[in-house]
Structure 1
């Protein structure tokens, strides 16, 4: 589970900004918190949910993309060496354009606390460091620093594998690939020290940054192959007042091959038409997936990550779901219901999302420390703060105070 995440010199982030899931002490609604299980040390409680607000172009999406980038780099294949790394520096400061973007993740996985630090440019990884905290004691596992003469490595005394294997891993690591990725790929499964944190870096956070539309398309393809999920999605939709009683597929014969296109070489193309049944007092009718509203399609796309969040909670896995624009095309009451359902679940999974829906700024639902705000300063750099950093009392009307400008992070509308 995520403890803290810091980013600097990336997109709209200039100086280091830190997003924290550490719960503030002495606030009520303890049911909104998670007690992280860590061997040999007691950590502060962590937040189960965090909502990020701010004007358009204030840096909300940049924060989500920063989280996403770490897992993208972790899963990068060695064959992609010739491709540029997908990183963008803070462009308003010429001195930073060629400097590394930096990321720092503090997380818990399999009852162990880790800190992973990464610095990179388009061309190469400049810095990579992994720390572990057995019984709370900071211990270096490895460090990689780039120098003009080549990368310099420092291996912790307790790192598994031995010097000979460490050198093999080092020699296999190219400038655009993580050392930890090569070490895990080229070691046996009994070496857990690097494999354990790498599992979380790859898949501990599921990040949805491109909207639910792409997910909905993916779910449609999934259902074509595994129709047994149709009942689960129908049930999920009915629970949030979308009256879909059944989902089925109808195989159609396409006439596209008659046009002489590439498909003609493969005969008639067989396509599956996704049909959703809606039931009312007047009867039942079927609608094509593409006839459904954007909100319904988004909810169909959201079913898969939502089910993963639920399953991870049941299995006590340290999983987190991160969503950009959670409220996109969804009614505020549906979003609020989903957040409330997750808060009431007996789970250690975390939900983090950006939103413009101030309907969620409800002290009966979330604590002050569960709201984060982004805004840009005069230099165009994103500043990231928690509402708990501002003066105020527990239980106050957060939405009202937000629109009064007490927490800033509001768009400045210039009227002609």
Structure 2
């Protein structure tokens, strides 16, 4: 469960910007929040902004952090002198010489973790992990404990390491084996360090990033087909029906695949053939059918006959239900892509209300101003990115603007009251 994310000197983010999923003191729309330890967290957050204002860069910053945690010590990808592909702010004379900084606070299991690092294209400059144990009657307000810190000493050309007493295991060996361009957390996870593997697990399994336009139907089709997903499968059918698309039923059958049916050109190497066949075996194709009922009978149509909006909704529902059922945090760029505004409302209401005990989170970018509705969202769930005069991105919430509860948010946003809208020079006749 995400509590907070911070980024500095990455792409359009010059100064530190903080994105928070902690609910404010406002007690409106309680279905939109859930309790996690001492925190009241938000189930969803929408990020608005003009084109090129930096809203997608927020998700790209989260994605960079996650991918770097997962891959920086991957023996199949890491190289002793490998360049790190971070991109600092480039519209001034000094930021490109400074490291980019990322930090995240989240809850996994019962513990709260604060993890972060600063990095340039050559090395990790700093890395840290602080852990807060859950409260109990003896310790109602536990303090964060340092598990490790790592800081580059430019003069000595080496790291200053500190380990807390609560971090056990082969710390010295792992420290010596960690390269300058690799994270200690990643190295420890690849070495199966039990405590740090748990931290790595959250990034690997519980933090998801998707682009709406890249979502295909296969995840949803797999859920419909496989028996292990029976509860979620029934929910997909129910939700498709509730969306009032004229669909009365749907099914997905795996297409049988035989390697003998594929005829490769002679010039294709054997290894490439084996790799392709393995991919086909691990990623089965599905025959997806939708049932429609009319006044005089019913008919079954393939997925490709459905509208683009229906296809998008179908592709979205699988990952979305997976998120809700498993308590994932999912980031989605351009939620409304090819979806009617009513369907977008439908998706948001599902996240807020379908599972009252739901501890999943949806963070998405959007241009859909119909979502600026105080019956759908709280003020602390609406975020904006604004491009400043120096070309950098400012990030703030509607709560920061002190918008009133009963205020017409859509009208206020479109009129420029909250910023984050394009400034366009009009053509003159």
Q: TM-score, length-normalised on structure 1?
A: 0.85
1:156 pairs, out of 136, 156, 164, with: 164
Gaps spanning 5+ residues in structure 1: where? 38-42, 314-318
For normalisation by structure 2, the TM-score amounts to: 0.83
User: Which residue of structure 2 aligns with residue 241 of structure 1?
Assistant: 244
For residues 166-315 of structure 1, the aligned pairs below 5 Å read 166-187=171-192, 189=194, 192=195, 194-208=196-210, 210-216=211-217, 222=222, 226=226, 232=234, 233-242=236-245, 243=247, 244-249=249-254, 257=263, 262=268, 274-281=287-294, 283-313=297-327
Conserved in 1, the CA contact under 8 Å of 2:51 and 2:422?
A: yes
Task: Check 1:249–1:114 CA distance in 2 against 1; reply closer, same or farther (3 A cut).
Answer: closer
Aligned counterparts, 1:17-416, within 5 A: 17-37=17-37, 43-76=38-71, 77-82=74-79, 83-134=82-133, 135-148=141-154, 149-161=157-169, 165-187=170-192, 189=194, 192=195, 194-208=196-210, 210-216=211-217, 222=222, 226=226, 232=234, 233-242=236-245, 243=247, 244-249=249-254, 257=263, 262=268, 274-281=287-294, 283-313=297-327, 319-344=328-353, 345-346=355-356, 347-416=358-427
| In 2: Cα distance, 1:62 partner to 1:388 partner | 21
Tell me the alpha carbon deviations over residues 137-193 of structure 1, each in whole angstroms, 9 at most, x when there is no partner: 1321101122342222111233212xxx2111112212232211222332454xx3x
The runs of 5 or more residues in structure 2 that have no matched partner are 134-140
Contact kept in structure 2, 1:295 and 1:330, CA below 8 Å: yes
Report the count of equivalent residues.
396
Shift of 1:61: 0.7
**Alpha-carbon contact 1:58-1:382 (below 8 Å) kept:** yes
Residues 234 and 248 of structure 1, relative CA distance in 2, 3 Å threshold: farther
Considering only aligned residues, what root-mean-square deviation do their CA atoms show, in Å?
3.0
What's the CA shift for 1:5?
A: 0.7
Distance 1:55 1:12 in 2: 13
Secondary structure of 2:36's aligned partner = coil
The change in CA–CA distance for 1:300 and 1:400 in structure 2 (over 3 A counts) is: same
Question: Structure 1 pair 255/144, CA: closer, same or farther in 2 (3 Å)?
Answer: same
- Describe the SS at the equivalent of 2:287: strand
How far apart, in 2, do the equivalents of 1:295 and 1:183 lie? 44
Distance 2:350 2:305 in 1: 29
